[in-house]
A and B are shown apart, each in its own frame.
Chain A
Amino acid sequence: DQQVKQNSPSLSVQEGRISILNCDYTNSMFDYFLWYKKYPAEGPTFLISISSIKDKNEDGRFTVFLNKSAKHLSLHIVPSQPGDSAVYFCAASGKGGGTSYGKLTFGQGTILTVHP
């Protein structure tokens, strides 16, 4: 049972345009969400996070939106750059207890390609 899902395996965007990566979750105990970026042959790099008490968090070109009622979050990259080409993973954790406490559950990842 996959609790965090990224239904788009890949996304292709033109340089300068907006990239929108989506993620859905099923576990209502999740209350903290993160996005990681991963280049081939490297470990994931933390990008941005959001707590369930917020619905938006912004850091430079990266904004994460959280819709708790829909159990959906998205990562917006504006403007997209060729260096953003990588695999993006969303992850969730639960501080409120249960089996998700203190552990991250990851989605399958979305390959973003930004064309010059």
Chain B
Amino acid sequence: EADIYQTPRYLVIGTGKKITLECSQTMGHDKMYWYQQDPGMELHLIHYSYGVNSTEKGDLSSESTVSRIRTEHFPLTLESARPSHTSQYLCASSTTWDTQYFGPGTRLTVL
């Protein structure tokens, strides 16, 4: 079982604020992912990384950005939050091309 952490677990902020969602894993996984999920809907991949200094946009367009400077760390940043960004953000990591292990998620509410 992978150890993968996300902070904060819950975040309520006002429109226009800059936020960074943290994701760290201690298993040395080279692949990391960010998903967005709304209630009752599927998980949508918004960013992924196959290693340090490698980042790609996922299938769902997102105004967020990511960085991968260290293997264990994959933060997601929103420069100017809007109510449309309200959602749950899930981080995952893997060593293989199939099974991904998820963190607990960050529930973001933008007022």
Question: Which residues of A are at the interface with B, using a C-beta cutoff of 8 A?
Answer: 2, 4, 9, 32, 34, 36, 41-46, 49, 89, 91, 93, 95, 101-109
Q: Are B41 and A108 in contact (CB under 8 A)?
A: yes
Check if B48 is an interface residue, CB within 8 A of chain A. yes
Check if B85 is an interface residue, CB within 8 A of chain A. no
Question: Which residues of B are at the interface with A, using a C-beta cutoff of 8 A?
Answer: 4, 6, 9, 31, 33, 35, 40-45, 48, 50, 58-59, 90-92, 97-105, 107
Q: How far is the CA of A87 from the CA of B31 in the complex (A)?
A: 25
Checking B35, B42, B107 against A109 with a beta-carbon cut-off of 8 angstroms, the contacting residue is B42
Q: Are A103 and B99 in contact (CB under 8 A)?
A: no
Instruction: List chain B residues, Cβ under 8 A from A34.
Output: 98-99
Q: Are A42 and B104 in contact (CB under 8 A)?
A: yes
Chain A: minimal CB distance from B32 (Å): 12
Checking A45, A102, A108 against B50 with a beta-carbon cut-off of 8 angstroms, the contacting residue is A102
Instruction: List chain A residues, Cβ under 8 A from B35.
Output: 106
Q: How far is the CA of A28 from the CA of B104 in the complex (A)?
A: 31
Task: Rank and list the top 6 A-B pairs by shortest CB-CB distance, nearest first.
Answer: A43-B102, A106-B42, A106-B43, A32-B98, A108-B42, A44-B102
Q: Name the residue among A41, A44, A45, A109 with the largest chain B CB count within 10 angstroms.
A: A44
Instruction: List chain B residues, Cβ under 8 A from A91.
Output: 43
Chain A: minimal CB distance from B92 (Å): 8
Instruction: List chain A residues, Cβ under 8 A from B41.
Output: 108-109
Q: How far is the CA of A106 from the CA of B90 in the complex (A)?
A: 13
The residue in chain A whose Cβ has the minimal distance to the Cβ of B50 is A102
Chain B: minimal CB distance from A11 (Å): 14
Q: Are B101 and A103 in contact (CB under 8 A)?
A: no
Q: How far is the CA of A104 from the CA of B90 in the complex (A)?
A: 13
| A103 and B48 contact, Cβ closer than 8 Å, known pairs A108-B40, A108-B41 | yes
